[in-house]
Amino acid sequence: MPRYGIAIDTTKCIGCHACKVACQNHNGLEYDQKFNTIYQVDRGKYPSFSKEFVPAQCNHCENAPCERVCPTGAIYTSPEGVVLVHRNRCVGCKYCIEACPYKVRLIDHHEGISVKCWFCIDLVRQGGEPACVTTCPTQVRIFGDLDDPDSRVSRFIAENRAQPLRPDLGTKPKIFYKRS
Ligand code: SF4
Ligand code: SF4
Protein backbone atom coordinates (compact mmCIF):
# COMPACT_ATOMS: atom_id res chain seq x y z
CA MET A 1 0.00 0.00 0.00
CA PRO A 2 1.45 3.44 -0.89
CA ARG A 3 1.76 6.24 1.67
CA TYR A 4 0.79 9.35 -0.24
CA GLY A 5 2.31 12.78 0.08
CA ILE A 6 3.03 15.90 -1.95
CA ALA A 7 6.17 17.93 -2.60
CA ILE A 8 5.61 21.63 -3.30
CA ASP A 9 8.20 23.72 -5.13
CA THR A 10 7.44 27.32 -4.20
CA THR A 11 10.13 28.58 -6.58
CA LYS A 12 7.75 27.63 -9.43
CA CYS A 13 4.51 29.05 -7.98
CA ILE A 14 3.25 32.18 -9.80
CA GLY A 15 0.31 32.75 -7.45
CA CYS A 16 -2.36 32.25 -10.13
CA HIS A 17 -4.76 30.38 -7.76
CA ALA A 18 -5.64 27.80 -10.43
CA CYS A 19 -5.10 25.00 -7.88
CA LYS A 20 -7.49 26.62 -5.42
CA VAL A 21 -10.20 27.03 -8.08
CA ALA A 22 -9.76 23.48 -9.46
CA CYS A 23 -10.09 22.15 -5.93
CA GLN A 24 -13.23 24.23 -5.26
CA ASN A 25 -14.70 22.96 -8.51
CA HIS A 26 -13.91 19.29 -7.80
CA ASN A 27 -15.35 19.54 -4.29
CA GLY A 28 -18.40 21.67 -5.11
CA LEU A 29 -17.27 24.43 -2.73
CA GLU A 30 -18.77 27.92 -2.67
CA TYR A 31 -16.46 30.73 -3.88
CA ASP A 32 -15.73 31.78 -0.26
CA GLN A 33 -14.78 28.26 0.92
CA LYS A 34 -11.44 26.71 0.02
CA PHE A 35 -9.16 23.77 0.82
CA ASN A 36 -6.09 25.44 -0.72
CA THR A 37 -4.70 28.82 0.36
CA ILE A 38 -1.89 30.61 -1.48
CA TYR A 39 0.08 32.68 1.04
CA GLN A 40 2.26 35.54 -0.19
CA VAL A 41 5.59 36.21 1.53
CA ASP A 42 7.19 39.60 0.74
CA ARG A 43 10.90 40.11 1.30
CA GLY A 44 12.94 43.32 1.13
CA LYS A 45 11.91 46.80 0.02
CA TYR A 46 11.64 48.57 -3.32
CA PRO A 47 13.74 48.51 -5.49
CA SER A 48 15.25 45.34 -4.06
CA PHE A 49 12.44 43.02 -3.12
CA SER A 50 11.01 39.57 -3.91
CA LYS A 51 7.78 37.64 -3.47
CA GLU A 52 7.23 33.99 -2.64
CA PHE A 53 3.88 32.24 -3.06
CA VAL A 54 3.35 29.34 -0.65
CA PRO A 55 0.39 27.05 -1.41
CA ALA A 56 -0.97 25.36 1.73
CA GLN A 57 -3.57 22.65 2.37
CA CYS A 58 -4.17 19.77 4.80
CA ASN A 59 -0.85 18.08 5.56
CA HIS A 60 -2.37 14.64 6.22
CA CYS A 61 -0.38 14.51 9.45
CA GLU A 62 0.71 11.09 10.68
CA ASN A 63 0.22 12.35 14.21
CA ALA A 64 -2.95 14.33 13.49
CA PRO A 65 -4.33 16.53 16.32
CA CYS A 66 -7.67 16.80 14.50
CA GLU A 67 -8.10 13.02 14.59
CA ARG A 68 -7.24 12.80 18.30
CA VAL A 69 -9.78 15.37 19.48
CA CYS A 70 -12.80 14.27 17.43
CA PRO A 71 -15.37 13.05 19.99
CA THR A 72 -17.30 10.88 17.52
CA GLY A 73 -14.41 9.13 15.73
CA ALA A 74 -15.40 10.82 12.48
CA ILE A 75 -11.80 11.54 11.48
CA TYR A 76 -9.61 8.61 10.46
CA THR A 77 -6.51 7.81 8.43
CA SER A 78 -7.01 5.66 5.33
CA PRO A 79 -4.68 2.75 4.49
CA GLU A 80 -2.90 5.11 2.05
CA GLY A 81 -2.17 7.58 4.88
CA VAL A 82 -4.84 10.09 3.85
CA VAL A 83 -6.73 11.82 6.69
CA LEU A 84 -10.44 11.51 5.88
CA VAL A 85 -13.85 12.20 7.45
CA HIS A 86 -16.78 9.83 7.93
CA ARG A 87 -19.35 12.38 6.78
CA ASN A 88 -22.24 10.68 8.57
CA ARG A 89 -20.38 10.69 11.92
CA CYS A 90 -19.34 14.37 11.99
CA VAL A 91 -21.59 16.47 14.24
CA GLY A 92 -19.99 19.83 13.32
CA CYS A 93 -18.68 20.53 16.85
CA LYS A 94 -15.54 22.24 15.41
CA TYR A 95 -13.12 20.64 17.91
CA CYS A 96 -10.95 19.55 14.96
CA ILE A 97 -10.93 23.06 13.53
CA GLU A 98 -9.57 24.38 16.83
CA ALA A 99 -7.04 21.53 17.13
CA CYS A 100 -5.50 21.84 13.64
CA PRO A 101 -2.38 24.00 13.99
CA TYR A 102 -2.38 24.67 10.23
CA LYS A 103 -5.94 26.04 10.19
CA VAL A 104 -6.96 24.17 7.04
CA ARG A 105 -10.34 22.84 8.16
CA LEU A 106 -13.72 24.50 7.65
CA ILE A 107 -17.40 23.80 8.08
CA ASP A 108 -19.12 23.02 4.79
CA HIS A 109 -21.90 25.55 4.08
CA HIS A 110 -24.30 22.90 2.77
CA GLU A 111 -23.87 19.93 5.12
CA GLY A 112 -22.60 21.62 8.33
CA ILE A 113 -19.76 19.11 8.68
CA SER A 114 -15.98 19.56 8.93
CA VAL A 115 -14.22 19.29 5.57
CA LYS A 116 -10.75 19.82 4.08
CA CYS A 117 -8.37 18.53 1.40
CA TRP A 118 -8.68 14.77 0.98
CA PHE A 119 -5.97 14.36 -1.71
CA CYS A 120 -8.88 13.79 -4.16
CA ILE A 121 -8.75 10.15 -3.11
CA ASP A 122 -11.68 9.45 -5.45
CA LEU A 123 -9.48 10.37 -8.43
CA VAL A 124 -6.34 8.76 -6.97
CA ARG A 125 -8.02 5.38 -6.46
CA GLN A 126 -8.94 5.44 -10.16
CA GLY A 127 -5.29 5.96 -11.12
CA GLY A 128 -5.40 9.78 -11.29
CA GLU A 129 -3.91 12.58 -9.20
CA PRO A 130 -5.40 15.35 -7.04
CA ALA A 131 -7.00 18.21 -9.00
CA CYS A 132 -4.50 20.76 -7.62
CA VAL A 133 -1.61 18.67 -8.98
CA THR A 134 -2.93 18.23 -12.52
CA THR A 135 -4.27 21.80 -12.89
CA CYS A 136 -1.17 23.76 -11.92
CA PRO A 137 0.29 25.37 -15.08
CA THR A 138 3.82 25.35 -13.67
CA GLN A 139 3.78 21.88 -12.06
CA VAL A 140 4.41 23.15 -8.54
CA ARG A 141 3.19 19.94 -6.85
CA ILE A 142 4.50 16.38 -7.17
CA PHE A 143 2.16 13.71 -5.79
CA GLY A 144 3.17 10.15 -5.02
CA ASP A 145 4.31 7.41 -2.68
CA LEU A 146 6.59 8.62 0.12
CA ASP A 147 7.54 5.02 0.96
CA ASP A 148 8.96 4.37 -2.52
CA PRO A 149 12.47 5.86 -2.62
CA ASP A 150 12.34 5.84 -6.45
CA SER A 151 9.04 7.75 -6.78
CA ARG A 152 9.29 11.29 -8.22
CA VAL A 153 8.06 12.77 -4.98
CA SER A 154 10.62 10.92 -2.83
CA ARG A 155 13.47 11.80 -5.17
CA PHE A 156 12.42 15.47 -5.23
CA ILE A 157 12.28 15.63 -1.42
CA ALA A 158 15.69 13.98 -1.08
CA GLU A 159 17.40 16.03 -3.80
CA ASN A 160 16.05 19.35 -2.51
CA ARG A 161 16.03 18.56 1.20
CA ALA A 162 12.38 19.61 1.17
CA GLN A 163 10.86 20.19 4.62
CA PRO A 164 7.31 20.29 5.98
CA LEU A 165 5.82 23.49 7.40
CA ARG A 166 6.40 23.80 11.16
CA PRO A 167 8.02 20.37 11.77
CA ASP A 168 8.56 21.53 15.37
CA LEU A 169 4.84 20.95 16.03
CA GLY A 170 5.44 17.20 15.89
CA THR A 171 2.44 16.39 13.70
CA LYS A 172 4.57 14.64 11.02
CA PRO A 173 3.05 16.29 7.93
CA LYS A 174 3.11 14.57 4.52
CA ILE A 175 3.51 17.76 2.51
CA PHE A 176 7.10 18.90 1.92
CA TYR A 177 8.34 22.24 0.61
CA LYS A 178 11.24 23.45 -1.43
CA ARG A 179 11.29 27.15 -0.48
CA SER A 180 12.78 30.02 -2.49
FE1 SF4 B 1 -5.63 17.38 10.67
FE2 SF4 B 1 -4.76 19.87 10.27
FE3 SF4 B 1 -3.00 17.84 10.16
FE4 SF4 B 1 -4.82 18.14 8.21
S5 SF4 B 1 -3.14 19.59 8.72
S6 SF4 B 1 -4.30 16.20 9.28
S7 SF4 B 1 -6.59 18.95 9.34
S8 SF4 B 1 -4.17 18.52 11.97
FE1 SF4 C 1 0.80 28.28 -7.60
FE2 SF4 C 1 0.27 26.25 -9.28
FE3 SF4 C 1 -1.54 26.99 -7.45
FE4 SF4 C 1 -1.01 28.59 -9.53
S5 SF4 C 1 -1.89 26.55 -9.64
S6 SF4 C 1 -1.21 29.21 -7.40
S7 SF4 C 1 1.16 28.25 -9.78
S8 SF4 C 1 0.47 26.13 -7.07
Residue 11 sits in a domain of what CATH number?
3.30.70.20
Say how far apart CA 161 and CA 137 lie, in whole Å. 24
Query: Domain total for the chain?
Result: 1
Say how far apart CA 168 and CA 164 lie, in whole Å. 10
Which of 104, 166, 177 for a ligand 1 pocket mutation test, highest count of atoms within 8 Å of Cβ? 104
Going by their DSSP bridges, the two strands 106-107 and 114-115 should be labelled as antiparallel
Q: What is the pLDDT of residues 74-132, one digit of tens each?
A: 999 999 999 999 999 999 999 999 999 999 999 999 999 999 999 999 999 999 999 99
User: Residues 25-49, buried b or exposed e (16+ Cβ, 10 A)?
Assistant: ebbebeeeebbbebeeeeeeeeeee
Ligand nearest the Cα atom of residue 64 = 1
**Which residues span the domain enclosing 155?**
4-178
Q: What is the pLDDT of residues 52-82, one digit of tens each?
A: 999 999 999 999 999 999 999 999 999 999 9
Query: Any idea what the Cα angle at residue 59 is, between residues 54 and 60, rounded to 5°?
Result: 160
Q: Which atom number of ligand 1 is nearest to the Cα of residue 83?
A: 6
**pTM, entire model:** 0.95
Ligand 1 center to 61 CA (angstroms): 6
Give the residue whose CA is nearest to atom 2 of ligand 2: 136
CB 119 within 8 A of CB 146: no
